Amino acid sequence: QGPISGVNKEIAVLQCHGDCDPLVPLMFGSLTVEKLKTMINPANVTFRTYSGMMHSSCIEEMMDVKQFIDKHLPPVD
C-alpha cells in the first residue's frame, strides 16, 4: 500500500499466467501487471501468458523462470 522508492523502483518482476486459469482469470493478471507498472519502472516488468495453461505450470513457464533467475541473480558457486 505504501510508496515504493529508491532501489525497489528498479526491481525486476516476472509475472506468469495461464490463459485458461479458472481460479485466477487472466484479466486479474493483466490488471495486476498494469498496477505494478505504475509502481515500479515499467521497463522492468515482464508479463508472460501461456496458451492452454490452467492454474498450474508448464515447461515453457519454468524455462522463462529459469531464464529470469539466470539473468537477474548472481551465479551460485
Q: How many CA atoms lie within 13 A of 36 on its CB side?
A: 19
Q: Among candidates 58, 32, 25, which has minimal Cα distance to 47?
A: 32
> pLDDT tens-digit profile of 3-61?
677 778 899 999 999 999 999 999 999 999 999 999 999 999 999 999 999 999 999 99
Domain edges within the chain: 13-72
Q: What is the DSSP letter of 61?
A: H
Global pTM reads 0.86
Residue 2: what pLDDT? Answer: 58
How many CB atoms are located within 10 Å of the residue 17 CB? 22
